[in-house]
Chains A and B, each alone.
Chain A
Amino acid sequence: MRVKSGVLCALSGALFVALCPGEELLVSHSAKGRRDGRLTVALRAEPKTLNPLIAMDLPSRDVIGRMHADLISIHRQTQLTQPALAKSWTVSPDGRRYTLHLRRGLRFSDGHAFDADDVVFTLEAFLDEKTHSPQRDLLIVDGHPLTARKLDAYTVLIELPAPYAAAERIFDGLPMLPRHILEKPFREGKLAEVWRLNTPADGIAGLGPFRLKQYQPGERLVLERNPYYWQEDGSRQRLPYFDELTFLFVGSEDAQVTRFAAGETDILNRVSPRMFPQLAAGQASRGDIVSDAGPSLEYNFLVFNLSPAVKPTWFQQTAFRKAVSMAVDRDSIVRLVYGGRGAPMWGNVSAGNRQWSNSNIPIPVRSLSQARDLLASAGFTWDSGKTLRDRTGKPVEFSIIVASSNTERVQMATIVQYDLKQLGMKVQVASLEFRSLVDRVLNTRQFDAAIMGLGGGDADPNSEMNVWLSSGGMHVWNPGQKQPSTPWEGEIDRLMRAQMSAIRIKERKQQWDRVQQLIAENVPMVFLASPHVVVAARKWVGGFAPAAMADYTLWNVEELFHRDN
């Protein structure tokens, strides 16, 4: 029966290819499997929507990413851009005009043709303020939206209001939408109401490797192969290989590992490094594939509140911050928090960021004596009880807030608390609910210091403009400045804007290296460590190629296959 349905599928696929002679498929030479089987993956939470325009949560984006495709994508292992729905593109000398050449003859998962009108419509929909798309900001350059114009059925001209380096990267994760389905709700201003979880499967169409089959509230979401997917392997088999992809909703990381061990899921799409020993046991007994894909793009840091109103002013002193950085035992953090599967950090770019990390930033040696010297040179003294006091005799006491839901950061806070005690500082660790922490750091500014984590999105520096520009809402140590409050922040502003519009990659790298150097010298954040990306799969999962960038194991889901088939 199964063989029969496989033959039927192959025949219908062949018939479709024969009927669409102009179809320009992307040939994946790394894919070497056979079409059959099901793959089950756990999601940490239920997706909230299937509408790419309004999706904000990771589970929704994980699912949507498998149902849709983008014009240009970022290869998760090389971290470089590669053609997707656009087979090629050219850039004008001034870097403001991108001409995208689309693959011909492609179809959405409902069989409807894809062309330049869909691209123009998609950009219009994302840019429309009434849609309230969280991705709209990506399409705004220098305060103005980019524009898209159809040159012919398979050619689109994208014009940027200002030169924008690596503009092609913004197309990664920007799914192309079917105009034939969404134009009506868009014109009626109802785009945010479409493609909810209760939408019937045949009401949703995309260009991704899978399409919606079934959704069971609170339990699972099942996708099935998109028969019109635009990639094939070297032997002209249309991808994806798996017939179905099931997402099980498993609420916690521990439960995910448990259900993987019980054989109920086939892939663990990134878990904490502390789970590695447990997974390694499964590797030994069941032959699971357990992989440490190296440092992620995530960086964890201690940040002081450098708002001008904060008293006392210890945190404002660079020597104080440097002394703290010098006292922190990053190796212990990596060993105790990540079980050795993490990378200590001294700068703001993780070693997992292959292209943009500045390897010339000196690695400071942990030294309590040098830290004490620094504090002494800044006027701090120690009393007979070894308590650190400032110039006015006030004891150095402050609190570090940390998200209670993140056990790893709570552990980091405890280690930092112990390290700073060696300098005579009295530090209290306060665990707060995550949203309360964000509210204090970004809104009310009622905190002394916080341990937080960022990163995990794109490797390109442009994705963090909001963090490093002094006017940025996420310039966590002193956000939303009207004018940069220090000369070095002014220099970072200038360099960040310059790299954003620089066309030559070498020039950008030099500018971003300098930004990293300024951050390392002035220590607005004390960088701590980056966890490794730990993933696992059943031994029969072929084509498994985990990456340090999200979506760690599912980025090449169309190339995954069942080895035994």
Chain B
Amino acid sequence: MRAGGDSVLIRYLARRALHAVLLLFGVSALSFALVDLAPGDYFTDARLNPRISSETVAGLRGEYGLDRPLPVRYLRWLRSAMAGDLGVSLAYNLPASALLAPRAGNTLLLASSALALAWLAGVPLGWWAATRKWPGRILSFAASAALTIPELLMAVMASIVAVRTGWFPAGGHLALPALVLAAGSMPVVIRHTRAAVLEVVDSPFLVAARAHGISEGRLVFRYVLPAAANPLISLAGLSLGTLLSASLLVEVILGWPGLGPLLLEAVYARDVPVIVGSIVISAVFLMLGSLVADVALYACDPRIRVEA
């Protein structure tokens, strides 16, 4: 039975991996084409330098292959991606992967710190809100209100607070962007936890368990949370993706050396390999988040194993 379950899981993972490859192929081709649609290229900037002639700019475009047709450039990028380089950055003259790797690590560190903060605080608060009538409703309302504040505004406010109080460095430190991102995603965690617990808390099996005299603490950890876990696990997978996209903006404002500042600069500079590489890496993060959530669901919920 166990061996059969494992092979099901392996088949599932293989199917997901194949989907991932196809998706990454599509994402990279589409982003390559979309960036190409915008007028100008990396060397357009040099055209406004009176000390650089048009001939020199044309020579540079040729040197970097920008005068080739789009499919040729994409295939060249694809070959480089297969080799793990993700193309050569036009601005940095370095393999895009060498630029993206340390920054992607920083973005992941920021997103996972924020995720941990949001969940460590959000789940107990959500559970507390589900078990208290009016305080719970007030907290739920406050969480809904907090959802309307965009991370962008929170980051600007955090930056002002940092300068005024001196409690945090105004830029370049993990604490401030992690707090901003955690504050941005915590209301969702609180609301979902509250809803999931409320759904379980009055269910017949819990009433029966209570009637058997099982302690409240054991009830929560042994029965309530596992039963409420499914939507929360799915949410956690999605949260990682949401946090990653929100972190790009927050990184720019609060000076965290992640993918955000690099991507923004690459977009302005039309550094195609870095843009496409960033998008591909973000897509990989998203898919991994969702995959981890799916595997966790598979491990936690026997019904899914049976259906599989």
Contacts and interface: CB of A to CB of B under 8 A. Distances in A.
B139 interface: no
Contacts of A442: 47-48
Interface stretch (B49-57, B190-198, B208-216): B49-57
B38 to A, nearest CB: 7
Contact of A464 (B50, B92, B258): B50
Instruction: With a 10 A CB-CB cut-off, give which of B39, B45, B252 has the most chain A CB atoms.
Output: B39
Contacts of B103: 217-218
Contact of A435 (B44, B106, B162): B44
Contact of B45 (A251, A255, A435, A443): A435
B163 A262 contact: yes
B170 A49 contact: no
Contacts of A218: 102-103, 106, 257-258, 261-262
Interface string A461-472: 001111100001
Contact of A132 (B63, B98, B169): B63
* Interface bin, chain B: 35 or more
A457 B257 CA distance: 31
Contact of B255 (A54, A251, A433): A251
Contacts of B39: 435-436, 439-440, 443-444
A465 B50 contact: yes
Contact of A217 (B49, B166, B257): B257
Given A193-B93, A255-B253, A438 B102 contact: no
B221 interface: no
Nearest to B258: A218
* Interface bin, chain A: 35 or more
Contacts of A436: 38-40
Contacts of B255: 248-251, 255, 259
A123 B83 CA distance: 36
Given A251-B255, A439-B40, A262 B166 contact: yes
A255 B172 CA distance: 11
A474 interface: yes
Contact of A138 (B51, B92, B264): B51
B159 interface: yes
Contacts of A467: 50
A264 B170 CA distance: 8
B170 A435 contact: no
A218 B99 CA distance: 9
A248 B172 CA distance: 9
Contacts of A197: 92, 94
A552 B103 CA distance: 31
B44 A258 contact: no
Contacts of B258: 218
Nearest to A192: B93
A137 B53 contact: yes
A134 interface: yes
Contacts, number: 145
Interface in B267-308: 268, 270
B170 A466 contact: no
B38 A137 contact: no
B156 to A, nearest CB: 9
Interface in B162-204: 162-163, 166, 169-172
A473 B257 contact: no
Instruction: With a 10 A CB-CB cut-off, give which of B51, B262, B268 has the most chain A CB atoms.
Output: B51
A46 interface: yes
Contacts of A150: none
Contacts of A433: 38
Interface in B76-94: 91-94
Given A216-B257, A251-B252, A466 B94 contact: no
B53 A466 contact: yes
A132 B52 CA distance: 11
A500 B272 CA distance: 39
B280 to A, nearest CB: 18
B51 A457 contact: yes
Interface in A213-258: 216-220, 248-252, 255, 258
Interface in A48-103: 48-49, 51, 54, 56-57
A48 B93 contact: yes
A198 interface: yes
Interface string B15-55: 00000000000000000000000111100111111111110
B278 to A, nearest CB: 12
A129 interface: yes
Interface string B150-163: 00000000010011
A378 interface: no
A443 B163 CA distance: 45
Given A262-B162, A264-B171, A439-B40, A137 B51 contact: yes
A134 B93 contact: no
Interface string A126-146: 000100101111100000000
A439 B47 CA distance: 9
B121 interface: no
Nearest to B56: A137
B9 interface: no
Given A219-B172, A251-B252, A57 B91 contact: yes
A57 B268 CA distance: 13
A556 B170 CA distance: 28
A287 to B, nearest CB: 17
B60 A134 contact: yes
A49 B93 contact: yes
B261 A258 contact: no
A408 B138 CA distance: 46
A411 interface: no
A474 B48 contact: yes
Nearest to A252: B252
Contacts of A48: 91-93
Contacts of A262: 162-163, 166, 169-171
Nearest to A444: B39
A436 B37 CA distance: 11
A474 B171 contact: no
B173 to A, nearest CB: 10
Interface string A515-530: 0000000000000000
B6 interface: no
A78 B64 CA distance: 40
B124 interface: no
Contact of B50 (A51, A129, A217, A454): A454
A270 B38 CA distance: 31
B29 to A, nearest CB: 22
Contacts of B270: 435
A472 B49 CA distance: 12
B67 interface: no
Contact of A56 (B46, B102, B172): B46
A258 B159 CA distance: 8
A495 interface: no
Contacts of B169: 262, 264
Contacts of B159: 255, 258
B38 A435 contact: yes
Contacts of B40: 435-436, 438-439
A434 interface: yes
Interface of A: 45-46, 48-49, 51, 54, 56-57, 129, 132, 134-138, 192-193, 196-198, 216-220, 248-252, 255, 258-259, 261-262, 264, 405, 433-436, 438-440, 442-444, 452, 454, 457, 463-467, 472-474, 480
- Top 7 A-B pairs ranked by shortest CB distance? A218-B257, A435-B40, A473-B54, A262-B170, A439-B39, A439-B40, A219-B257
10 contacts: A57-B91, A132-B59, A137-B56, A197-B94, A218-B261, A248-B172, A262-B162, A262-B171, A435-B40, A467-B50
